[in-house]
Amino acid sequence: MEQTKIIDLKNISKSFDGEPVLKNINLYIRDKEFVTLLGPSGCGKTTTLRIIGGFEQPDEGDVFFLDERINDVPPYKRNVNTVFQRYALFPHLNVYENVAFGLRVAKVPNNVISKKVKETLALVNLKGFEKRAVSTLSGGQQQRVAIARALVNNPKVLLLDEPLAALDLKLRKDMQNELKALHERTGITFIYVTHDQEEALSMSDTIVVMADGRIQQIGTPTDIYNEPKNAFVADFIGESNILDGVMIDDFRAKFAGVEFKCLDSGFEKNEPVDVVVRPEDVDIVPADKGMLRGTVTGVTFKGVHWEIIVDIKGFKWMIQTTDYCAPDSVIGLYIEPDAIHVMKKSEYSGMFGDYSSYSEEFDELSVADPEEEEKNTEAEDE
Amino acid sequence: MNKKSFLDSFSLVPHAVWSVLFIVAPLIFVVYFAFTDRNGNFTFSNIGALSDYAHIFGLSVAFALIATVICLLIGYPLAFFISRLKPSKQKILILILMLPMWISLLIRTYSLMALLDNGGLLNTLFEAIGIGPVKIVGTAGAVILGMVYDFLPYMVLPIYTSMSKLDIRYFEAAEDLGCNGFKTMTKVVFPLTVPGIISGITMVFVPSISTFYISQKLGGGSFDLIGDTIERHFQNQSTYNVGAAISLVMMILILISVAVMNKFADDNKGGQLIV
């Protein structure tokens, strides 16, 4: 990957009506990278994107585009194009004219426009849709038009604001693959905003996890998943059991009343820490052979695996296993040293990672609704 | 099988009765009078007599067109301005705009006349600063001013409605794709508000072309427009039939112009027409 910083945000802060939305954001994005801003609704990810696009001005801090400060450059002069949430296709223009819009504004000759629009429509698999009115297209097709309309201008950076949020699951998966492929084919830097952690993990080169107007962690998908920096990141990305623990010494962590070997070091002796154990990293063994022992309180069939909730000394663990365990049976858990990840205490300690109140509906509720998100950003606009 | 509910079957009845009594029947009378003489015999002479009124038609169309254009030039930017404000401020401004519409058109016109007349407020002011009394009432300008004054809200409201329905993201998308403010207006906002413009034009042009009160009061009797002519003919039993013929032709003219404008709106699939 090239090391040129194409976008550089320095000490960006932003409030709406006295309500801080971004608190001292520092972030640079390398050329040709696929970067995802990931976080729950209201975390500031869309505002960050809009600052890069020029639709919002930061209260403090600077935005650089290839080392040039662009705080005061209006959107129409930035070499950046946006795929808007819910697309914002022009209803008075057909597919061809929507895609050609940017080129017409730039006064590109007609024959060039025609060639480029055709190429771009082919790129997003919309050959033959030129004359269609945008209102007759399905959500997925409108999505492609929106992408084509942005890509045809050959921007340095493409900003995508929850572009797949309105699509159904199957279509979303297909579009994820297509977007990834488009990114590779075009070599354009993609900055992608989503609240869907799976989407972020499967598409990005780099993920920026945000919460409460701050960047929580920047890293590759594997880094973010395997080495979460704090309880928020561990909880937001995938499922995790997050336990209150103590780092007795390097490579020795104590939690759930038991001392474990681990691979983490560099903490103070007896420093209180948060310990993450991913549900899929726990092995189930007979009760007498386990490092921990507990009672199964819930079993859910998930297709690929069973998801079981185990009560260990009052803390409910989630474990994903391919072996069925009967409810109310007593089982043992075995945890390898490399399955344990130790994190510094943070403001998010103790807020996540216990499955005692866990239920499917509850999980559904916490997934941000795109409409809801919409309202939030609109509220932010005012 | 296909049993209709009570509402489905009868909800149209009140309006149907109304239409027949007050729209369809009068129209039939207009057509009947237009093609009969005083004794009720069929004739084309009323229609034939219309050529004498060609200049009146011309003048009325010209006045109405000028008033409509002025309303559009004032109303479009005004509607845009209002639609960009915070919702609370929008409500206040729309209320102010609509306030005059709560007062009878006759009273509004009469008070405008009182303002502009020789002994009126404006001329008193002119005299005070030494410009002397300026003849305003009785000029073409006063008639057009009256039309603009009376009908401007009908231009602003439909345009404002179509503008306030525009998604803010259209503006952002246009800007994102390289449009400065002016190009955003011409390439996105204007085409998307054409239905509002068409509605506004219709709602100003139609009453302007058929008005009689404004021209009588503010024109000081020097301008005979179609509305005045029709009124005069209907005041007099003997010219009922000519009046009906003029009404009929005017109605057809209006229908044609509305149809032409709606054609524009259809070509621009920007949104709903609000007439």
Over residues A50-66, the pLDDT tens digits come to: 999 999 999 999 999 99
Span between the terminal Cα atoms of chain A, in Å: 39
Residues of B in contact with A92 (CB under 8 A): 191-192, 268-270
Task: Look at phi and psi of residue A50 and say left if phi exceeds 0, alpha if psi is from -120 to 50, else beta.
Answer: alpha
Distant-in-sequence, close-in-space partners of B242: CB < 8 Å, separation ≥ 6: B46, B49, B233
* Pairing of β A206-211 and β A214-219: antiparallel
Q: What is the pLDDT of residue A382?
A: 35
Q: Do B177 and A91 touch (CB under 8 A)?
A: no
What was the pLDDT predicted at A29? 94
Task: For residue A159, give the chain B residue with the closest CA.
Answer: B176
**Side chain identity at B115, as an amino acid letter?**
L
Q: Distance (Å, rounded) from C-alpha B265 to C-alpha B275?
A: 12
Q: Which of A50, A105, A113, A153 to mutate to test the interface with B (most CBs of B within 10 A)?
A: A105
Distance CA B175, CA A75 (A): 6
pLDDT exceeds cutoff 50 at A184:
yes
**Statement: residue A277 has pLDDT above 50:** yes
- Which residue(s) pair with A217 in the sheet? A209
B130 in A contact zone (CB under 8 Å): no
**What residue numbers bound the domain in which B179 lies?**
54-267
Under a CB-based contact definition with an 8 Å cutoff, are residues A228 and A341 in contact?
Answer: yes
pLDDT of residue A358: 61
Using an 8 Å CB-CB cutoff, list chain B residues near A85.
169
Min CA distance, A105 vs chain B (Å)? 6
- The closest alpha carbon to A142, from A104, A195, A94, A177, belongs to A94
Which residues does B27 contact at the CB level (< 8 Å), separation at least 6? none
Q: What is the pLDDT of residue A373?
A: 43
DSSP B183-197: HHIIIIIHHHHHHHH
- B28 within domain boundaries: no
Residue A4, number of CB atoms within 10 A of its CB: 14
> Which residues are bridge partners to B90 per DSSP?
none
Instruction: Encode pLDDT of A10-34 as tens digits.
Output: 999 999 998 999 999 999 999 999 9
Q: For chain A, give the number of residues.
A: 382
CB contact under 8 A, A153 and B269: no
What pLDDT score was predicted for residue A68?
A: 92
Rounded CA-CA distance A380/A98 in Å is 28
pLDDT at residue A366, rounded to an integer: 45
Q: Does A106 touch chain B (CB under 8 A)?
A: yes
A92 in B contact zone (CB under 8 Å): yes
**What SS3 class is residue A177?**
helix
Concatenate the DSSP letters of all residues of A118-153 into one string: HHHHHHTT-TT-TTSBGGGS-HHHHHHHHHHHHHTT
**What is the DSSP pairing of strand A330-335 with strand A315-321?**
unpaired
- Could you give the C-alpha distances from B109 to A180, B156, B170, in angstroms and in order? 67, 19, 41
B256 at the A interface (CB within 8 A)? Answer: no
Q: Min CA distance, A168 vs chain B (Å)?
A: 23
The answer to whether the CB atoms of B188 and A90 lie below 8 A apart is yes
Q: How far is A148 from chain B (nearest CA, A)?
A: 12
> Which residue of chain A has the CA closest to B177?
A102
Answer yes or no: is B257 within a domain: yes
Tell me if B180 and A82 make a contact (CB, 8 A cut-off).
no
Which structural domains are found in chain A, ordered by start? 5-226 (3.40.50.300), 241-351 (2.40.50.140)
Query: Measured between alpha carbons, how far apart are the two ends of chain B, in Å?
Result: 37
Q: Would you report the helix, strand and coil content of chain B in percent, each value rounded to 5?
A: 75, 0, 20
What residues of chain B lie within 8 A of the CB of A381, using their CB? 168
Torsion angle of C-alpha atoms B80, B84, B86, B89, degrees rounded to 10: -20
Query: Is residue B47 in some structural domain?
Result: no
Both tokens of B111, joined, read: 């008070």
A286 phi and psi angles, rounded to 5 deg? -55, 150
Check: CB of residue B35 under 8 Å from CB of residue B46. yes
Residue type, B41: N
Using the Cβ of B58 and the Cβ atoms of chain A, whether some distance falls under 8 Å is answered with: no
pLDDT at B44: 87
Would the CB atoms of A76 and B176 count as touching at under 8 Å?
yes
Is B250 buried (19+), middle (13-18) or exposed (0-12) by CB count in 10 A?
buried
What's the CATH number where B256 sits?
1.10.3720.10
Residue A203 has pLDDT above 50, yes or no: yes
Confidence of residue A1 (pLDDT cuts 50, 70, 90): very low
Which residue do the tokens 């409108």 mark? A142
Contact (CB<8Å) A102/B178: yes
B39 in a structural domain: no
Interchain proximity A92–B268, CB inside 8 Å: yes
Q: Do B269 and A53 count as a contact with CB atoms less than 8 A apart? A: no
Which of A76, A133, A150 comes nearest B175 by C-beta? A76
Of A85, A90, A104, Cβ closest to residue B170: A90
| Tally of domains in chain B | 1
Mark yes or no for CB contact A91/B268 under 8 Å: no
Of B170, B176, B268, nearest to A75 by CB-CB distance is B176
Q: pLDDT tens digits for A75-99? A: 999 999 999 988 899 999 999 999 9
- The label of the residue with tokens 């697309």 reads A87
What's the Cα-to-Cα distance from B62 to each of A100, A318, B55, B66, B254, rounded to whole Å? 40, 81, 10, 6, 14
CB atoms under 10 Å from CB of B70, counted, come to 18
Sheet holding A282-285, edge to edge: A282-285, A330-335, A292-301, A306-312, A315-321
- Burial readout A338-363 (b: 16 or more C-beta within 10 A, e: otherwise): ebbbbbeeeebbeebbbbeeeeeeee
With beta carbons under 8 A apart, name residues in chain A contacting B180. 74, 76
Taking CA–CA distances from B173, the nearest residue in chain A reads A88
The Cα–Cα gap between A342 and A202 comes to 24
A102 touches chain B (CB under 8 A): yes
| Predicted TM-score of the model (pTM) | 0.80
- CB within 8 Å: A82 and B173: yes
Q: In this structure, what token pair is assigned to residue B251?
A: 């109605």
The tens digit of pLDDT for each residue in A210-266 reads 999 999 999 999 999 999 999 999 999 888 999 999 999 999 999 988 999 999 888
**B166 has a chain A CB within 8 A of its CB:** no
**pLDDT tens digits for range A334-349:** 999 999 999 999 888 8
Share of chain A above pLDDT 70, in %: 92
Residue B30 falls within a domain, yes or no? no
Confidence of residue A351 (pLDDT cuts 50, 70, 90): confident
- Asked whether residue B5 is assigned to any structural domain, the reply reads no
Classify residue A323 by burial, with Cβ atoms within 10 Å: 0-12, 13-18, 19+: exposed
Quote the CA–CA distance of A315 and B101 in Å, as a whole number.
70
- A88 and B169 within 8 Å at the Cβ level: the answer is yes
CB pairs under 8 A between A and B: 69
Residues ≥6 apart with Cβ < 8 Å to B213: B105, B106, B109, B227
Work out the minimum CA distance from A17 to partner chain B, whole angstroms.
14
Residue B42 in domain: no
Task: Name residues of chain B where pLDDT drops below 70.
Answer: 1-4, 265-275
Strands (E), A236-280: 241-249, 252-255, 258-261, 271-277
Any residues with CB less than 8 A from the CB of B128 and at least 6 apart, and which? Answer: none
Give the number of C-alpha atoms closer than 13 A to the C-alpha of residue A205, restricted to the C-beta side: 19
The answer to whether position B32 is within a domain reads no
Which residues in chain A touch residue B179, judged by CB atoms under 8 angstroms apart?
Answer: 76, 105
Q: Is the pLDDT of residue A40 over 50?
A: yes
Contact A82 B270 (CB under 8 A): no
